[in-house]
A and B are shown apart, each in its own frame.
Chain A
Amino acid sequence: MPRSTPARSPLAPPPSFVWTRRIVLTLLALFALLPVYVMLSSSVKPLEDTLGEWSWIPSRFTLRPYVDIWETVPLAKYFVNSLIVAGAATVCSVVIAVFAAYAVSRYRFRGKRLFTVTILSTQMFPGILFLLPLFLIFVNIGNQTGIALYGSRGGLILTYLTFSLPFSIWMLIGYFSSIPRDLDEAAMVDGCGPLGALFRVVVPAAVPGIVAVAVYAFMTAWGEVLFASVMTNDTTRTLAVGLKAYATENNVYWNQVMAASLVVSVPVVAGFLLLQRYLVAGLTAGAVK
């Protein structure tokens, strides 16, 4: 990564700049980490601590909350559901976005502008407006074709993958456009079809963009609450709904709520931070152009 970072100036920055940087970045880091610290420290506090006045240090260190949460909420089950739903939505979303973005970036065709404008405009739709209609459509499809979308993971996967689709397509269009067409052409001269060129040349060259899109799609699906609360049932409930229900029913068990929050956050945060360099690279060539 450092290689591609353009240095602003070959000269060493002046002290005024260095000090501003130190102070400002420290403050921002504190702001960013404050809730994380609260989660972490509260999750190892005994219950009395979290019910009384805020203290920075636990009066007594305990891992009890981490043991208890698995009994009070079926976290493991929700976890698996979230993983399946978010994972499947991510894979599908990426594949579909790659196709669509390839078409838009490489071909001229009628309705291209209409397509991109429509895609962008879906970002304006207030979720509340189409929650109920979408639900009715799912039920109706189920009644007529026997494909159960309501209450199943499938319905939620379809919904989430579509939520992340517009931004993903849009980002990949930018990324693909930055990949020189000479590369595709060379591949086609070698006898690949257009799809061969896509998979052998464009996709490998666009890995950072694709990873960026995948991360975005996964996080969108992992964090959604509203649609999941109506469209899931006992067996398909996701972490977002499960944890929200838990936090509202047992508000007093703050240490357990914090432990549960931390447990559900760790996989996404870890994955995100591992992949963040691709994210920057992907955005650099994609959305930001």
Chain B
Amino acid sequence: MRHIRAAAATALVLALTATAAACGGGTATNGEGSNKSPKKLTYWASNQGPSIEADKEILTKEIAKFEKQTGIDVELEVVPWADLLNRILAATSSGQGPDVLNIGNTWSASLQATGALLPWDDKTFDRIGGRDRFTESAVAATGAEGKDPAAVPLYSLSYALYYNKKIFKDAGIEKPPATWDELVAAGKKVTKGDTYGLALEGSNLSNHIHQAFVLAKQHGADFFTADGKPDFTSDGAVAGVKQWVDFMAKDKITSKSVAEYAQNQSLSDFSKGKAAMVLWQAAASTFKSQGMDESEYGVAPVPVQSGTPGQGEQINSMVAGINVSVFKNSDNLDGAIDFVKFLTSDEEQKILNSTYGSIPPVKAAQQDAAFDKPDTSVLRDALGTSAAPLPQVPEESQFETVVGTAIKDLFADAAAGRPVTTESVKAALAKAEQQMTKS
């Protein structure tokens, strides 16, 4: 009797385990795409506007046009940034995902490595008008070099220096700083009482990565070698990170409070006049919503290191932005590609990018007057001449986490008054690098 029960229990467990183990296999067999349901599409959009609800409204209106043109029914879901990567992970591992989805362009190579996204070879690109329609820097951020892109650029952004005109004028600063030395000098000049030179976000990991990447580039260094190995401790990388942390540690042109900022608090400091400068991507709409008029601030390119080759030549921004991808196992591949074609059409690019304050990666749309505004023209020029994509390696998200956390901890040190030296920066980066070498 006892044996029978034990056997029955074991059988049950085994059966359930087998069910579970079959999951991985189950998705792979029906993994290749088809056109089985040509009248339906699911689309996961990222949160680009002021809120999820606002996004839904904006996109629903545009998508209606596509539905009318093609008769395809598009089911839209705007996924909050906090959940997007986990949702993509779940979709990838299970095969139960949307047909079309937005991804942060820095994730491109990571997601490309999973093999879940449709590769955009020349033939597929031709179906949306060809690769040449897009700016080079934006296409560079769609996957690892030498592979077919895993995504198509949708919205592009870059960094600019926003400065408070009145604070600058009162301090007798006539033009925005073009080099970091000038920025520090200006920052020191205006830092007094409750007003600081620069606002930044000491607990914002991705922002740290963006800035450290640019500063390291300017020091002639990369965080990854040409063959994709992490290389965080080169002199240039250390100098770049240190320069970024030094704005608080040595130059003291930021408030100590910013060490715990992570969610756009730097923008509200700027719009309230508590900081004279901030380095950000397309912040105009946020400033407006916080009651700062366009006339109150100026926009300039991000500074470079002193000397040659100087602004406009040297890298001064990462290529930020959002890409759109198609899930390889979509049941409506043709419809999905048509939808991407719609989203990247000149017309939609103008509408969507101007609504969100970003720059169209589509060349033809970029020249529209809508993007000649003081801030967007600066962003656009940077994208055209001096922006570079973050390393397109599969370990990018891990890089962002370990190096971002290392820089966050350095800022915490600086805020607590502990010295930040070349050695301590190097040690922090060495530790981060060792954490990368696990797989």
| Chain B binds chain A | yes
Q: Which of B23, B263, B264 contacts A136 (CB 8 A)?
A: B23
| B78 CB contacts on chain A under 8 angstroms | 234
Beta-carbon contact of A244 and B268 below 8 Å? no
Would you give the 0/1 interface string for B338-377, flagging 1 where the beta carbon is closer than 8 Å to chain A? 0000000000000000000000000000000000000000
Q: Which of B81, B83, B93, B95 contacts A132 (CB 8 A)?
A: B93
Q: How far is the CB of B295 from chain A (nearest CB, A)?
A: 22
Would you give the 0/1 interface string for A143-176, flagging 1 where the beta carbon is closer than 8 Å to chain B? 1100000110000000000000000000000000
Q: How far is the CB of A109 from chain B (nearest CB, A)?
A: 10
> With A110-B2, A139-B95, A230-B90 in contact, do A249 and B52 touch (Cβ < 8 Å)?
yes
Would you give the 0/1 interface string for B72-90, flagging 1 where the beta carbon is closer than 8 Å to chain A? 0000011111110011011
Beta-carbon contact of B51 and A73 below 8 Å? yes
Say if the beta carbon of B158 comes within 8 Å of chain A.
Answer: no
> With A73-B51, A137-B19 in contact, do A229 and B82 touch (Cβ < 8 Å)?
yes
| B77 CB contacts on chain A under 8 angstroms | 233-234
Would you give the 0/1 interface string for B5-43, flagging 1 where the beta carbon is closer than 8 Å to chain A? 100010000000001101110110000000000000000
Beta-carbon contact of B2 and A230 below 8 Å? no
| B52 CB contacts on chain A under 8 angstroms | 73, 245, 249
Instruction: Give the contacts of A40-70 with B (CB-CB under 8 A).
Output: 51
Q: How far is the CB of B173 from chain A (nearest CB, A)?
A: 27
Q: What residue of chain B has the Cβ atom nearest to residue A241's Cβ?
A: B83
Would you give the 0/1 interface string for A235-269, flagging 1 where the beta carbon is closer than 8 Å to chain B? 00000010011001111100000000000000000
| B265 CB contacts on chain A under 8 angstroms | 251-252
Say if the beta carbon of A196 comes within 8 Å of chain B.
Answer: no
Q: What residue of chain B has the Cβ atom nearest to residue A142's Cβ?
A: B96
Interface SS of chain A = helix
Beta-carbon contact of A110 and B5 below 8 Å? yes
| B86 CB contacts on chain A under 8 angstroms | 229-230
**Interface size for chain A: under 10, 10 to 19, 20 to 34, or 35 or more residues?**
20 to 34
> With A137-B19, A137-B23, A234-B78 in contact, do A251 and B264 touch (Cβ < 8 Å)?
yes
Say if the beta carbon of B53 comes within 8 Å of chain A.
Answer: yes
Say if the beta carbon of A10 comes within 8 Å of chain B.
Answer: no
Q: How far is the CB of A287 from chain B (nearest CB, A)?
A: 28
Beta-carbon contact of A141 and B2 below 8 Å? no
| A194 CB contacts on chain B under 8 angstroms | none
**Interface size for chain B: under 10, 10 to 19, 20 to 34, or 35 or more residues?**
35 or more
Beta-carbon contact of B26 and A140 below 8 Å? yes
Q: What residue of chain A has the Cβ atom nearest to residue B78's Cβ?
A: A234
Say if the beta carbon of A204 comes within 8 Å of chain B.
Answer: no
Q: Could you tell me the distance between the alpha carbons of A230 and B97 in the complex, rounded to whole angstroms?
A: 12
Say if the beta carbon of B47 comes within 8 Å of chain A.
Answer: yes
Q: How far is the CB of A104 from chain B (nearest CB, A)?
A: 17
Say if the beta carbon of B385 comes within 8 Å of chain A.
Answer: no
Q: Could you tell me the distance between the alpha carbons of A110 and B6 in the complex, rounded to whole angstroms?
A: 10
Say if the beta carbon of A111 comes within 8 Å of chain B.
Answer: yes
Q: Which of A51, A72, A234 contacts B51 (CB 8 A)?
A: A72
Q: What residue of chain B has the Cβ atom nearest to residue A247's Cβ?
A: B263
Say if the beta carbon of A272 comes within 8 Å of chain B.
Answer: no
Q: Which of B83, B90, B268 contacts A245 (CB 8 A)?
A: B83
Instruction: Give the contacts of B80-119 with A (CB-CB under 8 A).
Output: 80-83, 86-87, 89-90, 93-96
Say if the beta carbon of A74 comes within 8 Å of chain B.
Answer: yes
Beta-carbon contact of A136 and B20 below 8 Å? yes
| B93 CB contacts on chain A under 8 angstroms | 132, 135-136
Residue among B52, B77, B95, B272 with the highest chain A CB neighbour number at 10 A: B52
Say if the beta carbon of A133 comes within 8 Å of chain B.
Answer: yes
Beta-carbon contact of B5 and A249 below 8 Å? no
| A140 CB contacts on chain B under 8 angstroms | 19-20, 22-23, 26, 94
Beta-carbon contact of B82 and A244 below 8 Å? yes
Q: Which of B24, B53, B89, B264 contacts A252 (CB 8 A)?
A: B264
Beta-carbon contact of B24 and A136 below 8 Å? yes
Would you give the 0/1 interface string for A213-227, flagging 1 where the beta carbon is closer than 8 Å to chain B? 000000000000000
Q: Could you tell me the distance between the alpha carbons of A233 and B83 in the complex, rounded to whole angstroms?
A: 10
Q: Could you tell me the distance between the alpha carbons of A234 and B27 in the complex, rounded to whole angstroms?
A: 23
Q: Could you tell me the distance between the alpha carbons of A111 and B2 in the complex, rounded to whole angstroms?
A: 9
> With A111-B5, A132-B93, A234-B77 in contact, do A229 and B83 touch (Cβ < 8 Å)?
yes
| A144 CB contacts on chain B under 8 angstroms | 19, 26
Beta-carbon contact of A252 and B5 below 8 Å? no
Q: What residue of chain B has the Cβ atom nearest to residue A226's Cβ?
A: B86
Q: How far is the CB of B214 from chain A (nearest CB, A)?
A: 25
Q: Which of B20, B26, B87, B263 contacts A143 (CB 8 A)?
A: B26
Q: Which of A71, A72, A74, A248 contacts B82 (CB 8 A)?
A: A248
Q: Could you tell me the distance between the alpha carbons of A137 and B87 in the complex, rounded to whole angstroms?
A: 16
Q: Could you tell me the distance between the alpha carbons of A233 and B9 in the complex, rounded to whole angstroms?
A: 35
Beta-carbon contact of A251 and B263 below 8 Å? yes
Q: Could you tell me the distance between the alpha carbons of A250 and B2 in the complex, rounded to whole angstroms?
A: 60
Instruction: Give the contacts of A110-130 with B (CB-CB under 8 A).
Output: 110-111
Q: Could you tell me the distance between the alpha carbons of A54 and B95 in the complex, rounded to whole angstroms?
A: 48
Q: What residue of chain A has the Cβ atom nearest to residue B261's Cβ?
A: A251
Q: How far is the CB of B25 from chain A (nearest CB, A)?
A: 10
Q: What residue of chain B has the Cβ atom nearest to residue A133's Cβ?
A: B20
> With A230-B90, A248-B263 in contact, do A139 and B23 touch (Cβ < 8 Å)?
yes
| B80 CB contacts on chain A under 8 angstroms | 245, 248-249
Beta-carbon contact of A74 and B83 below 8 Å? no
> With A74-B53, A250-B51 in contact, do A51 and B268 touch (Cβ < 8 Å)?
yes
Beta-carbon contact of B268 and A139 below 8 Å? no
| A229 CB contacts on chain B under 8 angstroms | 82-83, 86
A-B contact sample (5 more), CB < 8 A, given A140-B19, A230-B90? A72-B51, A72-B53, A110-B5, A140-B94, A234-B77
User: What are 23 A-B pairs with beta-carbon distances under 8 A?
Assistant: A73-B51, A110-B1, A111-B5, A132-B90, A132-B93, A135-B93, A135-B94, A139-B23, A140-B19, A140-B26, A142-B96, A144-B19, A150-B90, A229-B83, A230-B86, A230-B87, A230-B90, A234-B77, A234-B78, A245-B83, A249-B47, A249-B52, A252-B265
Q: Which residues from chain B sit less than 8 Å from chain A, CB to CB? A: 1-2, 5, 9, 19-20, 22-24, 26-27, 47, 50-53, 77-83, 86-87, 89-90, 93-96, 263-265, 268, 272, 290
Q: Which residues from chain A sit less than 8 Å from chain B, CB to CB? A: 51, 71-74, 110-111, 132-133, 135-137, 139-144, 150-151, 229-230, 233-234, 241, 244-245, 248-252
Q: Which are the 8 A-B pairs with shortest beta-carbon distances?
A: A245-B80, A251-B263, A139-B94, A136-B23, A234-B77, A140-B23, A137-B20, A229-B83
